Structure 1
């Protein structure tokens, strides 16, 4: 059993925090293997005012003020842990947090950087030889990522990482599963994603373009940052969708759409959390193309793959009755068989136990 100090954006809130359900799924499944996790998250970006869950029984959560003084206090807690994890994109003084946490880790402690946005992190390091993470990489024991495949592994090693291992997104069947349809989310195509600069052009291509082409169809847009008066008239904006509503959001529409951010699509092997959550609910999922999709779902049978907006338009217009439900059923069966957080936790548990033993022996 390991004591794990995990410093991330937020476990309690998915508000402007797409990694929340990934953290929850991984950590809860990992504690089933006997690990004890304390999650440290800063009180920033109104996340605590928009919590999806209360602190769970399977993880201790420490919320600290968004100040340098509070950051240093919680970073000092790393000295008590067997494993210390600093995640990317915490959102408050990330470089300072990385330095403070790793400097307080005991000599035997396994020191991990966990990257939930590897393409962006790698781009920043490649552009700046003095980047804080880049200078510290050779001293860290392990880099974990939630996607990226061999290209990301190779890029991290080229920058000095000792080892890089992808731990992909997955499904938590206890939280994401089929539910009765909800009239609030009735539409032909739904997309859930916050408005981000490196996603907007792809949303226009894969979502707004088909909406403009199919004026008789209805579209639903969930996520923060979108403005109703800036979208086609047959698109309804919902704003932030709490995780408690994700199942109904996924299962009610005829189809749900996944649109990768530019960097994720270019890198490939980076399935978003919503891919597994939608499949777990039995949704008919359509995704924009990215390399590696067949490792998770079979195109044409378990997922629809669109290379441009015209593919989305044609799928919506020409889908035979009943095919959408069959795709959703096959996708759910595949994800349950191969891609739950229990599968990921077994992989991670074996990795952590081996590395902790090695660190203790070296110390």
Structure 2
């Protein structure tokens, strides 16, 4: 790089973390990008749901602009045109139309960051196009994927992606660390309700709570149906802003991580909650999926559970010293490879590679990269 990059991002939401994990993913990554000296402009569709639940209206690490609709997005055409790189995220409202407009307008590298890759591919297979259309995948200089492993090969061989690259979520290490607070719960979970994730939550937290009435449990997150039968020893927190996450994790002896069905099937899909809990040195109990051992090995940096009996055994039999050693190992692994700055370095390097490949193909250098 010869100069700081100007990067424009169009994402689902940066300003509100209510009911989505995208906001914390973008915040960690873009804080890291800013820490490396680059400039970022984030364009966010102004929708009522996030407008009424904003917890970061004025970020200090990038410029945030809200736009009302596709016509209003055109007010930012100069920024899109002049940027060294433009990245469109998954689940942006009117995603296919936004992508077409960006591809027509941008002069620099254009990437797509799919924070929901297995879900996106499953939707495309059903003919649904909430994030993008199949025809658009080969048009990006680089397709950044929340999911690694075999999915990357699938994107290139089956869907024609020019370059599919894993870009996992990350954590802000300054904000996610042990607080030293006393334990309040034996097992907790943080996550928005999802129908395909609920059976695992029922199996690995709600049923153990029924079997262990003397233990304390907590579930934080919005959109859970009223008909969910919560045991009396499960505390419910409808929404937990990111500023309170570290305290929440630090007050748990163990925290549960469960993964959406499409992501379990694909493997190689760590959630941001996995890294957040690890950074807070909270011992993690999680479901099993391919690729997990490359990130947080079972029995070393976390504990895998498949049935309620596994969780009950951990909560009642695992010595505290063993729990603390697993938690410390998890934190060490997260801080070594999964911080926002670490991920930002990967992003910038992949943008540079995409620029070089584009230059080779066109014979013209992309400014700034």
TM-score, length of structure 2 as denominator length: 0.90
Measured in 2, the distance between the counterparts of 1:336 and 1:150 equals 22
Could you give the per-residue CA deviations for residues 162-195 of structure 1, whole angstroms, max 9, x where no partner exists?
1100011223211111113267xx1111000111
Could you give the per-residue CA deviations for residues 308-349 of structure 1, whole angstroms, max 9, x where no partner exists?
222112211212233222221221122222322222222222
Shift of 1:246: 0.3
Corresponding position of 1:99: 100
Moved over 3 A (4+): 71-77, 129-132, 357-361
Of 270-279 and 332-341, deviating more is 332-341
Which residue, 220, 223, 247 being the options, matches 1:222? 220
Corresponding position of 1:359: 358
Shift of 1:241: 0.5
| Unmatched 5+ stretches in structure 1 | none
Secondary structure at the counterpart of residue 53 of structure 1: coil
Secondary structure at the counterpart of residue 87 of structure 2: strand
Corresponding position of 2:25: 22
8 Å CA contact 1:256–1:283 kept in 2: the answer is: yes
RMSD after superposition: 2.1
Corresponding position of 1:305: 304
8 Å CA contact 2:96–2:129 kept in 1: the answer is: no
Measured in 2, the distance between the counterparts of 1:111 and 1:134 equals 16
Q: Following superposition of structure 1 onto structure 2, how do residues 75-154 of structure 1 map, counting pairs within 5 Å?
A: 77-90=79-92, 92-106=93-107, 109-128=108-127, 132-147=132-147, 149-154=148-153
Does residue 162 (structure 1) correspond to residue 162 (structure 2)? The answer is yes
Pair 121,75 (structure 1): closer, same or farther in 2 beyond 3 Å: farther
Corresponding position of 2:367: none
Measured in 2, the distance between the counterparts of 1:94 and 1:75 equals 16
Measured in 2, the distance between the counterparts of 1:16 and 1:199 equals 14
8 Å CA contact 1:177–1:280 kept in 2: the answer is: yes
8 Å CA contact 1:119–1:264 kept in 2: the answer is: yes
Measured in 2, the distance between the counterparts of 1:114 and 1:321 equals 40
Pair 308,215 (structure 1): closer, same or farther in 2 beyond 3 Å: same
TM-score, length of structure 1 as denominator length: 0.92
Measured in 1, the distance between the counterparts of 2:175 and 2:129 equals 41
